[in-house]
C-alpha cells in the first residue's frame, strides 16, 4: 500500500463511521430532523453548487493573498496532503474520495450539525460559527493558512446550506472544488511550465 492508499483508506473508514452514526441518529429522531434531502429541484441545486465554484476559488486566493501579505512566515509552501498524490492511481483514489468524503460526508455532517444547533444548541448561526472553526481545525495538518482557508470555505458551504435548506448545492460545490483543486495540482506538478 502506498501512503496515498493508507490515507484514503483512513478517510473512507472515518467517513463511513460518520455517515452510519448520523444515519442512526436521524433514524432515532425521525421525522423531527430533516437535512434537506429532496428530489425536487435537483438540476437547480446542482447549478447553484456549480455557480459557487468561482466564489470558492476567490475565497482560497483571498485567504492565501492575505497570509502572503500579513503573515508570510505562516504560509505553508507545500500541502503535505497533496504531496502524497504522486501517481495516477493516487490521483484517482483522491478524486473518488473527494466525492464521497468531501462532497457527501462532510456536507452531510455540516447539515446535521447546523440542524442540531438550530433546534437545540443556540441557533444555526452559533452552529455555523462553531462548525466553521472546527472544520478549519480539522484541516490543520495541511498548515495553518490552509486550515484558515478551509474554515472560510466551510463557512461558504454552510451559508449555501442555510440559504437553500438543501444538501445538493453544497455537496456539488464541495465535490467540484476538491476535484478541480486536485486536477490543478496534478496538472501543475506533471506539466512543467504550466500555470
Residue 5's alpha-carbon distances to 1, 8, 187, in angstroms, are 6, 5, 20
Q: For the residues 79-101, what does the mean pLDDT come to?
A: 81
Which pLDDT tens digit goes with each residue over 139-169?
A: 888 888 888 999 999 999 999 998 988 888 9
Q: What is the pLDDT of residue 28?
A: 76
pLDDT at residue 108, as a whole number:
78
Q: Please, what is the angle between helix 124-138 and helix 107-120, to 10°?
A: 150
* pTM (predicted TM-score): 0.81
Band the pLDDT of 74: cuts 50, 70, 90. confident
| Residue spans per domain, the chain | 41-190
Separation in Å, CA 89 to CA 2, 10, 78, 79, 81 = 10, 17, 21, 19, 15
**What share of the chain in percent tops pLDDT 70?**
90
Distances (CA, A) of 36 to 40, 95, 115, 170, 183: 11, 25, 10, 11, 30
Q: Write out pLDDT tens, residues 9-55.
A: 777 787 778 777 877 777 776 655 455 666 677 788 889 999 999 99
Contact between 88 and 3 under an 8 Å Cβ cutoff? The reply is: no
Amino acid at each position: 500500500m502506498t501512503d496515498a492508499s493508507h490515507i484514503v483508506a483512513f478517510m473512507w473508514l472515518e467517513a463511513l463511521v460518520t455517515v452510519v452514526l448520523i444515519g442512526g441518529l436521524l433514524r432515532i429522531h425521525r421525522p423531527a430532523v430533516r437535512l434537506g434531502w429532496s428530489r425536487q429541484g435537483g438540476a437547480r441545486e446542482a447549478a447553484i453548487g456549480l455557480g459557487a465554484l468561482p466564489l470558492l476559488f476567490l475565497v482560497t486566493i483571498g485567504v492565501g493573498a492575505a497570509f502572503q501579505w500579513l503573515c508570510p512566515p505562516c504560509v505553508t509552501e507545500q500541502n503535505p496532503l497533496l504531496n502524497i498524490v504522486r501517481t495516477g492511481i493516487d490521483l484517482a483514489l483522491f478524486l473518488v474520495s473527494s466525492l464521497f468524503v468531501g462532497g457527501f460526508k462532510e456536507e452531510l455532517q455540516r447539515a446535521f450539525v447546523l440542524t442540531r444547533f438550530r433546534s437545540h444548541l443556540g441557533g444555526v448561526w452559533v452552529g455555523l460559527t462553531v462548525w466553521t472553526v472546527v472544520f478549519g481545525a480539522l484541516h490543520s495538518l495541511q498548515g495553518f493558512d490552509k486550515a484558515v482557508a478551509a474554515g472560510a470555505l466551510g463557512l461558504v458551504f454552510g451559508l449555501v446550506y442555510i440559504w437553500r435548506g438543501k444538501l445538493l448545492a453544497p455537496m456539488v460545490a464541495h465535490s467540484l472544488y476538491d476535484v478541480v483543486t486536485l486536477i490543478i495540482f496534478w496538472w501543475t506538478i506533471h506539466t512543467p511550465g504550466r500555470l
